[in-house]
Amino acid sequence: MHDIVIIGGGPGGYAAALYAFNFGLSVALIEKDRVGGTCLVRGCIPAKSWLETAAVFQTVARSSEFGVRSSEPEVDWSAALARKNKIVDGLVGGLSGLLKTRDVDMYAGFGRAVPGGAVVTSLDGSTTMLPAKATIIATGSVARSIPGYDIDGERIVTSRHALDWEQRPERVAIIGAGAIGAEFASMLADVGSEVHLLEALDQILPGMEPEAAKAVGRSFRKKRINVKTGVRVDPPRITAGGVMVPFGDTSVDVDVVLVAVGRAPVTEGVGLEEVGVSTERGFIPVDAETMETAVPGIYAVGDIVAGTPQLAHVGFSEALAAVTHIATGETAAVDYRAIPMIVYTHPEAASVGLTEAQAIEQGYDVEVTNHGMRAVGRAIIHGETGGVVKIVAQKDGPILGATVVDPLAGEVIHELMYSVGWEALPAEAAAFIHAHPTISEGIGETLLAAAGRPLH
């Protein structure tokens, strides 16, 4: 009998397995594929590897701007793919080793919750019962599609296939301009593909501040991405040369369509009915303090949890909360107020806390400060002055949320994570000195302005 059986070895599941070691708990971890889950094997990590290839390509392509002569860059697609695979393999190997040193018992196969633990069905069809005192369900999510767009992995694909393309597609239509669609659009356009980005809502990166969407949109126009918002696509037509994607009274002809319209939780077939855990539109409701479902001893973490963002780092944090509760009975609730969200386009868009619209909706009287990166020395040196900083504070009160667009936004957003998490007043945060010259200085300037005493 294990203390915990975990179904799913992605960020939620493997973090739970690793963390349980701190409490001396025995753990069984069931994974049907490779440990690491979507994020490590076919999501965040490989996507960022491709984005890095695109960034290096662009740095070389623009080198003359910086006084460096170089020849025309070319993407060696198979070398870039091999590098991506090597990064993934290295991290999967490292994670497997770490799980071993933490004494986690690994079970390869398909896991299903049953009363008193879980059953694992291995590839050869044999089943093993794994009794446990607590069960953590961490089965993650899969890409959704839309009517008419049947994923065939060739002409109509999801991010999972696109990360393993063996050559650069010439012409791509991307449906959905959320994080996945925007990142692929940025990457593909940067390496020279023709990209059509088709979004149903009226802005790209819906949910992010409109100022951020506009700044990223400007960079997309420079990359010659054909961005269409407010678009409802009709079912595609497979043609001899590729795919035709109709929308409104027009259409685009492309080689491949990447569908990026969100991800659905994997909660069917994993034994939920059998153990009495109910779902809401496929997601599992949990106690926000402990991650325990309505069934005592059964926990859920990660992309399957109802009402929380589908982000690897949220999954990590939820895993820590679940394990802490199982081990000690105490709560270590996730602080959902200050979760950084980063879209790794070039430039990146990063946010934390509430947007202006969310703050108003929640009844706050808000004070908003916008600042551009145009005059920030480091941004000028980088040749990247299209960035923005936006800080949303309660009137005469703390910082509620912030957004940054810049190639380094995903790094510098973390100081604002503390500001939001610690409910700092703009004047308190502005009292600290930002080093000169840095991109963070753009945030310092915005904080000074938010505190009512701008400098530059």
Stretch that binds ligand NAD, among 9-17, 117-125, 337-345, 426-434 (CB under 6 A): 337-345
Q: Is residue 436 flagged as an active site residue?
A: yes
C-beta closer to ligand NAD: residue 189 or 198: 198
180 binds ligand NAD (CB under 6 A): yes
Under rule CB under 6 A, residue 173 binds ligand NAD: no
Binding span for ligand NAD by CB under 6 A among 72-80, 110-118, 194-202, 427-435: 194-202
Least distance (Å) from ligand NAD to the CB of residue 140?
10
CB of 59 to ligand NAD, least distance (A): 21
Q: Which of 135, 186, 293, 310 binds ligand NAD (CB under 6 A)?
A: 310
Let me know the angle formed at the C-alpha of 30 by 25 and 31, rounded to the nearest 5 degrees. Answer: 135
Nearer to ligand NAD, 223 or 263 (CB): 263
- Rg of the chain over Cα atoms, rounded to whole angstroms, equals 23
Give the separation between CA 55 and CA 37, rounded to whole angstroms: 25
As beta bridge partners, residue 341 has 351
229 token code pair? 């918002």
Q: What part of residues 227-286 is at the interface with ligand NAD (CB under 6 A)?
A: 233, 260-263
Question: Least distance to ligand NAD from the beta carbon of 290, Å?
Answer: 23
Task: Pick the closest to residue 289 from 325, 261, 313, 235 (CA basis).
Answer: 325
Q: Choose, by CB under 6 A, the member of 311, 349, 350, 451 that binds ligand NAD.
A: 311
SS3 296: coil
Find where tokens 């604002």 sit.
416
Minimal distance in Å, beta carbon 147 to ligand NAD?
8
Q: 133 to 152, contacts with ligand NAD by CB under 6 A?
A: 146
CB of 413 to ligand NAD, least distance (A): 12
The reply to whether 41 sits near ligand NAD by the rule CB under 6 A is no
Instruction: Give the nearest distance from C-beta 384 to ligand NAD in angstroms.
Output: 19
Residue 14 phi/psi, 5-degree rounding, is -70, -35
Least Cα distance to 199 among 372, 187, 216, 191 occurs for 216
Helix, strand or coil for residue 279? coil
Q: Which of 284, 344, 402, 442 binds ligand NAD (CB under 6 A)?
A: 344
- Alpha-carbon distance of 350 to 423, in angstroms, equals 19
d(CA 409, CA 358): 21
By CB under 6 A, tell whether 179 contacts ligand NAD.
Answer: yes
Q: Which of 13, 46, 111, 176 binds ligand NAD (CB under 6 A)?
A: 176
Q: How far apart are CA 339 and CA 318, in angstroms?
A: 12
Distance (Å, whole) CA 45 – CA 163: 10
* Torsion sign across C-alpha atoms 169, 179, 263, 275: positive
Binding footprint of ligand NAD on the chain (CB under 6 A)? 146, 175-181, 183, 198-201, 206, 233, 260-263, 310-311, 341-344
Catalytic residue numbers? 436
